Structure 1
Amino acid sequence: MNDYLHSTIPNLKPFNYERHHDSHFINQDWVLVNGISKKKSIYTFREDNILEISRKDVVIKTSWNISLQNIFTIETEDGLIQVKAYFKDDDILVLNHVNKNEFALYINITNYDDELSSVDDIQDYLKNKYRKKVNSIIYDHEFYYIERSEEFGPFKVEELAEKVNSGEISGYCFVRDVNEYDYSNRLRVFDLINEL
C-alpha cells in the first residue's frame, strides 16, 4: 500500500506525534482536496477525539482515535476506516487508507485568507506556495556557471543577474547548484532570474 502512495506523492514525512499533533494537527481546518469540485468539506480534528466535518451550513460530528503505531481510526459515513497520516509539508496532510490503494489529501486553511473551493483554487494555492518556496531557496542559494568551457562561481542569483545586466555574461550560460556535480539539468541563468 505504501509503494502506491509514495510513488503518487513522493517525499512524504510520516506523522510524528511529538512534532505534528499539537501544532500541526489538532484544531486545524483541513480542506479535503479529493472531490472538491463536487462539494467542499472541511475537517477539524478536536482534542477530545471529535472530528468535525463542515459542508456548507452543515457540521457533522464523528470520532477519531490514534494508536501507538500512528494509525488513525476514523468514523466516516462509510463506517470505521483506518488510515496512516503523512505530511507533504506542514500544511499538506495525506491520510492513506491502510487496507486499500486510496488516500485523501488535505490542505490546512487555518491561516489562509483566500477561498479554497474549487480545483482552480487548489492549483493557484499550490502554484503560489511552491513559487514562494522556490524563490526563497533560489534567492539564498549559490550556483556555478559555465562559459566557454570554463567554470565560475559560486554566485547568488542576484549576482548572476547583475552580470547578465552589465553584459559580463550571457543569460544563456548553463548553471549548476553548488550541490550538483554537472550541468545535466540544462538550467540557464535566465531560468534562475525568471524565478525571482
Structure 2
Amino acid sequence: MIQDLHDTIPNLKPFDYSIHHDSNFINQHWVLVNGIAEKKSTYVFKKDNVLEIYRKDNVIETSWNIHFQNIFTIETEDGRATVKAYLKDEDMLVLNDQTKDEFALFINTSNYADELNSMEDVQNYIKYKYKQKASNLIYGHQFYYISESEEFGPFTVEELTEKVKKDEISAFCFVRDINEDDYSNRMRINDLIQEL
C-alpha cells in the first residue's frame, strides 16, 4: 500500500512532529483536493485536538489526535480514520489511510491569494507554485552559454538577459548549468528568461 502511494506521489517526506507541527500544520487552511469538483472542504487543525472542516457556509467541528511522529486519528462524518501523514513540500499534505488503500491530498492555501474551488484551480496553483520554485532556483544561479562554437561565462540569468536586450548575444544560444558538463539538456537562454 505504501509503495503505491510513493509511486503516485514521489518524493514524499514523512511528517515530523518536531519540525512540521507548529510551523506547517497547526492553524493552516488545508483544502482537500480529493472530490473538490463536487464539494470544497477546508480542514484547519487547531491546538487542543480540534479539527474544523469548512464546507460552503457550514463548519463542522470534530477532533484529531497524533499518536506517533506521523500517525494521526481523525474524526469526520464518515467515522474515525487512522492516517499516516506525509509532506510533498511545505504546502502539500498527504494523509494515507492505514486501513484502506486510499489517501487524501491537501493543499495549504494560507499563503495563496486565489481561491481553490476546482481541479483547474488546483492545476493553476501547482503551475504557480512550481514556476515560483523554478524562479527561485535559477535566480542568482550561474550558467555558461555557447555562441559560434565558443563557450562564455559563467553568468547569472540577469546578466544573460541584459546581454540579450543589448543584442550582444542571441536568446537562442544554448546554456548549461555550472554543475553540468555539456549542453545535452538543450536549454536556451530564452528558456531561462521565461522562468523569471
Amino acid at match of 2:15: F
TM-score by length of 1: 0.90
Specify the alignment match of 2:30 in structure 1. 30
Secondary structure (helix, strand or coil) at the match of 2:107 reads strand
Specify the alignment match of 1:86 in structure 2. 86
Q: Contact 2:70/2:86 (CA < 8 Å) preserved in 1?
A: no
Q: Distance in 2 between matches of 1:65 and 1:89?
A: 22
Q: Which runs of structure 2 are paired with 1:1-196 in the superposition (5 Å)?
A: 1-196=1-196
Note closer, same or farther for the CA distance 1:181–1:83 as it changes in structure 2 (3 Å cut).
farther
**Residue 43 of structure 1: how far off its partner (Å):** 0.6
Two-structure CA RMSD over aligned residues (Å)? 1.8
Question: Number of residue pairs matched?
Answer: 196
**Residue 111 of structure 1: how far off its partner (Å):** 3.3
Q: Distance in 1 between matches of 2:182 and 2:65?
A: 49
Q: Percent identity?
A: 67
Secondary structure (helix, strand or coil) at the match of 2:185 reads coil
CA deviations on 1:144-169 (whole Å, 9 max, x unpaired) are 12234433221101111222233332
**Residue 106 of structure 1: how far off its partner (Å):** 0.9
Q: Distance in 2 between matches of 1:173 and 1:66?
A: 53
Q: Contact 2:13/2:86 (CA < 8 Å) preserved in 1?
A: yes
Amino acid at match of 1:68: F
In structure 2, stretches of 5+ residues that fail to align are none
Amino acid at match of 1:96: N
**Residue 25 of structure 1: how far off its partner (Å):** 0.8
Q: Distance in 2 between matches of 1:140 and 1:13?
A: 27
**Residue 69 of structure 1: how far off its partner (Å):** 4.0
CA deviations on 1:91-140 (whole Å, 9 max, x unpaired) are 22111222443221111122333222122222222222222222222222
Note closer, same or farther for the CA distance 1:170–1:3 as it changes in structure 2 (3 Å cut).
same
Q: Contact 2:17/2:69 (CA < 8 Å) preserved in 1?
A: no
Q: Distance in 1 between matches of 2:178 and 2:98?
A: 40
TM-score by length of 2: 0.90
Q: Distance in 2 between matches of 1:165 and 1:111?
A: 34
**Residue 15 of structure 1: how far off its partner (Å):** 0.7
Per mean C-alpha deviation after superposition, the further-off stretch among 93-102 and 44-53 is: 93-102
Q: Distance in 1 between matches of 2:118 and 2:44?
A: 19
